[in-house]
Structure 1
Amino acid sequence: MSRFGYSIFCDDIRNEVGGKLSFIGCYSSVIIVTQKFPLALPKFCIHGFVVTGADEPFRSVSIRCYVPWQQAPILDEKIEVPHIPAQRAMVAELESNVSAPRQIVASASLVLSPFELAGPGLIRVRAVVDGAAEEVGLGALQILAQQGR
C-alpha cells in the first residue's frame, strides 16, 4: 500500500466532548472571493490526514501548506507520532476478523489566524513522511476571484 492523505478546509475546527472534532464552514473545492486582493480571512483551518499501511509505520510526519504567492511553505507542522513499536501494537489490537486493510493514520489541525490572501491560486497541503524528499499530496483548495457583473 502506498501512502496517501486528504484534508478538510474550513473556517474553524472545534474540539468537542469525548475527543470529537467539529469542522465549521467547510469548503468543497473552491473559495470564491468577492472583495479585491489582498484581503484577510479572520481564520482559516486545515485538518490533514496521512495514511500508511500497517507494514510501513511512520518514523516522522510533518504537514506543509503552500500558497501560490510564496515559494516556501507558509506552515511546516510536525506531527508527533508514537514510536514504531507502539504503532505496531495498536494495529495488533484490531479485530482479526475484519477484512479491511490495516492502516495507521496521523492527523493534525492547522490554524491560520488571520489568513492573508494575496491573490487567486491554489492552496496545496502536502506531507513529508520519514524525511523523504517526495511529498505526499493531501489535497488542494482553489482561490477564485468572482468576475464583475
Structure 2
Amino acid sequence: MIKYPPLPNGNAIFCDDIREEVTGKRTLVGVYNSEIILSANYPSRIPLLCVEVHFRIDPDTPEQPLGIKITQDTNGESKVVAEVEMAWPGLPVDTKFPDLHDENGRNSVQMVAVLRLHDVLVHGPCGLRAKAFFDGDEYRLGFLGVRSNAS
C-alpha cells in the first residue's frame, strides 16, 4: 500500500549555494546531510548558507500566509537568523497536480522558498533549524548541526 504523509507537511535542504536558471531548474550545490564542520575557531562566520524549503498543503485550506524561519539554537536559546512570509499561491480551484495526491485522490499544493543566509555568525557549537508557521502551528522541517574542528 502506498502511504502519503498527512497534510500539511514539508522539508528543508541546507546547502552552500542554490543556482536558479531561467528555465526554472535549480541546482543545489554542496548539500549537507546532518552537520557543517567549520575549519576556523569560534567565533566564526558562515559566508553563505542556502536553505530550500518545501511545504505542502491541502488546496482546500482557507487562504492564509505561510511563515518560514531559520533559527540558530544554542544552549536552549533560539535566535531567528532569517525569515520570510509567503502568500497563498492563488491557484484556480480546478488546478490538478496528478503526482501530488494522497491515496484518496486528494491534491496538494507545494510552496517553495529559497533563503540565502549571508555571514551567519557562530559563537560555538549550535544548530540551525528550519521552521514553518501555518494555521497556528509550528512545523519542524529540517536541522543542520554546526561545529568546528579547529584546534
Q: TM-score range by the shorter chain?
A: 0.7 to 0.9
For 1:28, which of 4, 18, 33 is the aligned residue?
Answer: 33
Q: Flag the structure with higher strand content.
A: 2
Does residue 116 of structure 2 align to residue 111 of structure 1? Answer: yes
Answer yes or no: is the 8 Å Cα contact 1:4–1:137 preserved in 2. no
Judging changes above 3 Å, is the alpha-carbon distance between structure 1 residues 37 and 20 closer, same or farther for their aligned structure 2 residues?
same
TM-score (norm 2): 0.80
1:141 maps to what in 2?
144
State the AA in 2 paired with 1:143.
V
2:3 maps to what in 1?
none
CA distance in 1, matches of 2:52, 2:140: 13
Answer yes or no: is the 8 Å Cα contact 2:37–2:146 preserved in 1. yes
State the AA in 1 paired with 2:84.
E
Identity of aligned residues (%): 26
Aligned to 2:114, the other structure's residue is in SS state: strand
Matched ranges for 1:1-149 at <5 A: 1-56=6-61, 59-69=64-74, 71-83=78-90, 86=91, 88-90=93-95, 93-95=96-98, 100-101=101-102, 102-130=107-135, 132=136, 134-146=137-149, 148=151
CA distance in 1, matches of 2:9, 2:86: 16
Q: Deviations over 1:39-79 (max 9, x none)?
A: 11221111111112344365210100110245342222011
Judging changes above 3 Å, is the alpha-carbon distance between structure 1 residues 99 and 144 closer, same or farther for their aligned structure 2 residues?
closer
Q: Structure 2: which 5+ runs fail to align?
A: 1-5
Q: Deviations over 1:102-140 (max 9, x none)?
A: 21111101111122222212111100113x1x2111110
Once superposed, which parts of structure 1, at least 4 consecutive aligned residues long, lie more than 4 Å away?
none
CA distance in 1, matches of 2:125, 2:57: 32
Q: Flag the structure with higher helix content.
A: 1
State the AA in 2 paired with 1:63.
I
Q: What is the aligned-residue RMSD (CA, Å)?
A: 2.2
Aligned to 1:36, the other structure's residue is in SS state: coil
TM-score (norm 1): 0.81
